[in-house]
Structure 1
Amino acid sequence: MKTISILFSLLVPAGLLAQNQNLNPRAFEALCQHFHTYVDEGVLPGTLIYIEKEGVLNKDVYGFQDIARGIPMSESSIFRWASMTKPITATAIMMLVEAGKLQLDDAVSLYLPEVTNMSVYQGDSRVGNIMTIRHLLSHTSGITSGFDRSAAGQAAAKQLAQARVHNLKELVAAVCSTQLAFEPGKGWAYGYSNDLLACIIERVSGMPVEQFFKQHIFEPLEMKHTAFQVKEVDALTSVYAPNEAGELLAVETAANSRYVNGQNFARGNGGLAGPASDYLNFCRMLLKGGTFRGRRLLSPESVRAMMHNEVGEEWLPLKILNTSLTGQGYGLGLGVLMPDAPFGHAGDVFWPGALYTYFFINTQQQTIGIFMTQMRDMSRMSMMGEFHDLATKACEEQTKR
């Protein structure tokens, strides 16, 4: 694979050192400079950007992995992917579907009898609709979280905050003790559905979920540095948050990280960490319809199903926290852009992580975009949309320059 590396001097504005003819040079430079400005102004600690189009990779690495220690951001830097774990969990489920171990429309209770005790918030004690695997994958199960500002979501968040959870089994038990925001299939809520999927993976496969991921996904995709516990401690990127004056403070470093000290347990909603290059290989597999360097992980039909919006128009726009996600739907483990999306192209699949990681895939243009930094500040998550928008413009054909 041909690679064009575009590396900027740390915190020093500079021109592009190289260009690839399958990108719009000015638009790509504008993308890089846009995020360099955030770093130079102290809004972000550092950034890593990948844009791959038609098999040609363009890179931009800028700023710091750890400001206090003067460690520059690099391609070896390891990031906490947070909710970018979800598409990997969905991939594992689709593998089990293809293996005949379960079906998308199976009742969740076949594998997790615990869900039969769940009721709808302020509703009848019994749930009328059967919760299915498909509901869990598409966040239409009714299972909620603090990301849902409804009364049900906030009640669940309060209850789970009081639970003592040390592993996946305890987490799933705690989630199943909360109430649903709505009947399965009758809404969309961003919740803990993927953690139930991880538990199902364990019960169906007979393997710990981290072992299943490693054997069936990470090893075939050569994701050599991806795990729930980080061994390359010096490569772990510090997490920053702004103080009241807007100055960046390190709120998690390798020295105090649960990703190092053994407290980060394997789950399906989040928790994986790795370099951007590992996630790029995962995206390449999806872009190529389930194959990677001659190895088939999923069928094209399964990948298309993941990329198809499952959320009815009556439940759009989706909402996370107090933000309406205009033009965004959700498939089986992937966000899907709709025709009215304010950035990107209809049909793009994508998803962010809460610590400012993001990816998108455009199958028509054969394009992958990845953005990574590490921030704990939900007020600026719109940056992910900025990246998608500017990266899309950089991928326009020469005739549109």
Structure 2
Amino acid sequence: MTAPKIEADPAEVGLDPDRLARVDTHFQRYVDDGRLAGWTIALARHDKLVHLSHYGLRDVDTDRPVTDDTIWRIYSMTKPITSVAALMLWERGLLELTDPVSRYIPAFADQRVYRGGSAQNPGTDAALGPVRVHHLLTHTAGLTYGFHHAHPVDEMYRSKGYEFGAPAGVDLETAANTFAGFPLLFQPGTEWNYSVATDVLGRVVEVASGQRLDEFFRTEILDPLGMADTGFHVPAGDDRLATLYNARPGGGLVENKALGASITREPVYLSGGGGLASTVGDYLRFARMLARGGELDGVRILGPRTLAHATRNHLPGDADLDTIGRPIFSESAFGGVGFGLGFSVVIDPATTKQLANPGTYAWGGLASTAFWVDPVDDVVATFFTQLVPSSTYPIRSQLQTLVGQAVIS
């Protein structure tokens, strides 16, 4: 990999260096008191990398420090990459946002919608319309996740082995067909529920492109952007991989071996919703491509109009997640935040109660990783660590405040 390099002093791009120092000071405390093992933070403004810092360890037991080339499980930060893949196919005329998903996955024809009853004996109604590609991109399809533990349909997913990922030996095609057989939580397009929708979208990408998802990622996004350390698999002998932790009751950390080991096995199930690992340098290149309107270093991934369309609120009635979202997920604020084609989007900063600008788009991952692009202040921010779940500490809102307060011009 090519290590990211500082390209300007913070003061040159309107960031107060003393105020910016608060970012590292604050998160160093997370390591010093045992809440995190280690982290990496990278910030760019006006298309220049101005802050890159590491602190702590990528593995506590072996005392290995976090470095530029540390590999992190990014989980749901895979979703923006899968969404970009679908948008690329849309630009090429290979799919329409209004296409029924059944055009690519026939099992999605004739969907049923949960009406009541138990997971074992649900009552259902016919869907009033098909699940469409844009429903997958916006999480308004009526799909769910088994790990929510909030609804009988979630239980149906878990009963078939779909809680975190897929059962052993199941590929993406089989999983997508299985998801199609569960009832939807609601009529397509009427509510927002965080779900396996982006995994299903990954299967749509495969069918529409004629390539496996990992191959499409490699040839169309990762290789063109120089993201050599991003992929669905990290060889078991690569000691750059950070260890995955949970908070230990009473303080400190405990390794999550069961969940953490999956990235070291060659995957059968290519999860477009959460399957990738990456480095700070790689993901920063992806985020900077977005901030530059779809182009980086002469390589254009998306057109600027496409990206502008994708990063506006697409929820019905221009509603926020608090209004039409099911309140079961914590990787994003709900009040004042909408959802675009693969990204959360700030629509009312005052309602978010966060120091955010309108139009800031973002997402994060299960292991407390996060990124955002702020088109008003022209800031790109990334944060990497390995603590599950992401709701353990208010890392993202704190980082947003700490970065925002350092912008002085």
TM over 0.5: yes
Structure 1: gaps (5+ residues)? 7-17
Q: Note if 1:95 corresponds to 2:88.
A: yes
More displaced 10-residue stretch of structure 1: 63-72 or 162-171: 162-171
What is the rounded CA distance, in whole Å, between the counterparts of 1:200 and 1:116 in structure 2?
14
**Residue pair 1:147, 1:153 contacting (<8 A) in 2 also:** no
* Counterpart in the other structure of 1:15: none
SS in 2 for 1:36: helix
Please list the CA deviations of residues 30-75 of structure 1 after superposition, one character each: whole Å capped at 9, or x if unmatched.
1111110011000000010001001221111100011110100011
Shift of 1:5: 8.7
The residue identity in structure 2 corresponding to 1:357 is T
Q: TM-score, normalised to structure 1's length? A: 0.90
Q: Check whether the contact 2:71–2:241 (CA below 8 A) recurs between aligned residues.
A: yes
* Equivalent position of 2:118 in the other structure: none
Offset at residue 280 of structure 1 (A): 0.5
Alpha-carbon distance, 1:20 to partner: 4.2
Aligned to 1:138: 138
Amino acid at match of 1:130: P
Q: Tell me if the contact between 1:52 and 1:369 (Cα under 8 Å) persists in the aligned partners.
A: yes
The alignment of Structure 1 onto Structure 2 pairs a total of residues equal to 385
Asked if structure 2 preserves the Cα contact closer than 8 Å seen for 1:168 and 1:267, the reply is yes
The equivalent residue for 2:373 is 361
Inter-partner Cα distance in structure 2 for 1:341 and 1:124: 36
Which residue pairs with 1:71 in the alignment?
64
2:293 aligned residue: 289
Conserved? CA contact 2:148–2:154, under 8 Å = yes
Match of 1:33 among 25, 29, 43: 25
> What is the rounded CA distance, in whole Å, between the counterparts of 1:188 and 1:381 in structure 2?
24
**Contact 1:228/1:264, CA 8 A, preserved across alignment:** no
- Matched residue type, 1:128: L
Distance 1:332 1:249 in 2: 36
Q: What is aligned with 1:370?
A: 382
Deviation at 1:4? 3.1
Give 1:252's aligned residue. 257
The amino acid that maps onto 2:73 is R
SS of the counterpart of 2:401?
Answer: helix
CA contact 2:344–2:362 (8 Å) conserved in 1: yes
Matches within 5 A, 1:125-204: 125-146=125-146, 148=148, 150-161=150-161, 164-165=167-168, 166-204=170-208
What letter corresponds to residue 132 of structure 1 in structure 2?
R
Amino acid at match of 2:383: F
1:2-401 paired onto structure 2 within 5 Å: 3-4=5-6, 20-22=11-13, 23-57=15-49, 58-122=51-115, 124-146=124-146, 148=148, 150-161=150-161, 164-165=167-168, 166-231=170-235, 233-252=238-257, 257-263=261-267, 265-312=269-316, 313=318, 316-317=321-322, 318-319=325-326, 321=328, 323=330, 325-339=334-348, 340-343=351-354, 344-394=356-406, 396-398=407-409
AA matched with 2:361: V
SS in 2 for 1:4: coil
**How much has 1:151 moved relative to structure 2?**
2.2
Distance 1:337 1:19, change over 3 A: closer
Q: Distance in 1 between matches of 2:246 and 2:124?
A: 42
| Identical positions, percent | 30
Corresponding residue number in structure 1 for 2:119: none
Q: Distance in 2 between matches of 1:46 and 1:243?
A: 16
C-alpha RMSD of matched pairs (Å): 2.4
